[in-house]
Amino acid sequence: MKKLEYIKSQVSDLSPKDKQELITYLKNSYSVFSDYVNVKACPHCKSTKIVKNGTRNGHHKYICRNCKKNFTYRTKTPLSGIQKLNQWNIFIDDFMSLNLTPIRELKDKIGVSEQTVFNWRHKLLSALVLKDQVFENDIIEFDEANFLISRKGRQGMGIIDKNKYTRWRRSQVGESDYNVKVFVAYGRFSRQLNITRSNMGRTKKKDMEAYFTKERFKNIKVYCDMHPTYKGFFRDNGIPFETFLSKKHVSWDKPEVHNQTVNSYIRNFKDFTNIHLRGVSTKYIDLYLKWFQFIHETRLVVERQLSSGQKVKFNIADNICKEVVGNTAGLDIYRMLEFSYQLYLQANGRTDYGGCKNHYYKAKVIRTDLLG
């Protein structure tokens, strides 16, 4: 406090011009993330042999004794290179609910272009993609949801006949090869929710194998519908399960065997993407799935704090800031979005598009050499 009092006493002597400059400096150096900065290791080589090396915009600069590189708390994180970081409080506030403000309105509030808001949103979401959890000693409600492939925002699709195209889209229902499958699991005891993009088209055994890994699910029992692939997979892998008719969503003789919780989450997510966001491009669907999961998880923590009579230690905004500051994986995910999307389409054999002249991408764009 002494330090602050001292600075205040000095400020009164400044000229009006200098005062104005100081205000601008403070505004620019403070961001919603400032309170969460906690640099422990070098973002380049992960070494902890780091030393402070001056300041930039009100934040420490560091130098790594191991690789000799300079960095700040933003280096290699989704926040690197972002101008107007001090405006992110508006942005984060908006992120706390599932009622994201339309980008058109947000850009006026913040004073940046629509494209910038769009990029910011996706950078922020990229930091959450790797969030995953473990279900242990739990009863799992399991189901899948379909999201018709979407090229929202893409130019030059070469739609030949608009009506024909609309009809084609409407005809892609259920296990169509153009539907992106999303696996949803809800833990009855842990109340955790996991939403993960899976294959396109009919669910196969290998898709189940990729999802129900031993790392993610330990000692579980599954409630699901009578999809033959589910039954075969659970039986082969010794995972206990109980089923019900897909149409009914609940067992005829055991009322506790149902997946209504998971279904209500699926409905909420569909309303969020289809109605509120007016559709999400398949390229970005992962980001929004993990966003939905993240909000659920954070609310759960807050609820637990409340019900145990504890003081609420953080809110959703806190949790976002914590995830983003120091996250050195998100930026790569963000940069690889287009590439990952193309690989996904290639892996599912869906590079063409009904009723359009142009494919998703030119085959030569795919660089499988980057994979290894």
List residues binding Zn ion (CB under 5 A): 42, 44-45, 47, 64, 66-67
Closest distance to Zn ion from the beta carbon of 53 (Å): 13
- Cβ proximity to Zn ion: between 46 and 205 the closer is 46
Shortest CB 43 distance to Zn ion, Å? 8
Asked if residue 320 lies in contact with residue 301, where contact means CB atoms within 8 angstroms, the answer is: no
Report the nearest approach of Zn ion to the CB of residue 285 (Å). Answer: 35
- Minimum CB separation of residue 278 from Zn ion in Å reads 44
Closest approach of Cβ 44 to Zn ion, in Å? 4
Q: Which residues, including other chains, have CB under 8 Å from residue 14's CB and lie 6 or more apart?
A: 22
Structure-token pair, residue 136: 């242990």
Of the pair 45, 365, the CB lying nearest Zn ion is at 45
Return the number of the residue (65 or 276) whose C-beta is nearest Zn ion: 65
Beta carbon nearer to Zn ion, 65 or 267: 65
CA distances for 323 relative to 130, 231, 275, 355, angstroms: 10, 37, 28, 42
- Alpha helices by DSSP H, listed for the chain, are 2-11, 16-29, 88-95, 103-110, 114-126, 162-171, 205-211, 228-236, 260-270, 285-307, 316-324, 330-335, 337-347
Closest approach, Cβ 129 to Zn ion, in A, equals: 25
Q: Which of 119, 130, 42, 128 is nearest to 84 (CA)?
A: 119
Phi-psi region of 156 (alpha: psi -120 to 50; beta: other; left: phi over 0): left
C-alpha span between 326 and 75 (Å, rounded): 8
Nearer to Zn ion, 51 or 370 (CB): 51
Task: Compare residues 14 and 45 and give the one whose CB is closer to Zn ion.
Answer: 45
How far apart (Å, rounded) are the C-alpha atoms in residues 35 and 352?
Answer: 48
Q: Which is nearer to Zn ion, 37 or 96 (CB)?
A: 37
Q: Which one-letter DSSP state was computed for residue 116?
A: H
Minimum distance, C-beta of residue 34 to Zn ion, in the bound complex (Å): 23
Report helix, strand and coil shares of the chain as percent, to nearest 5. 45, 15, 40
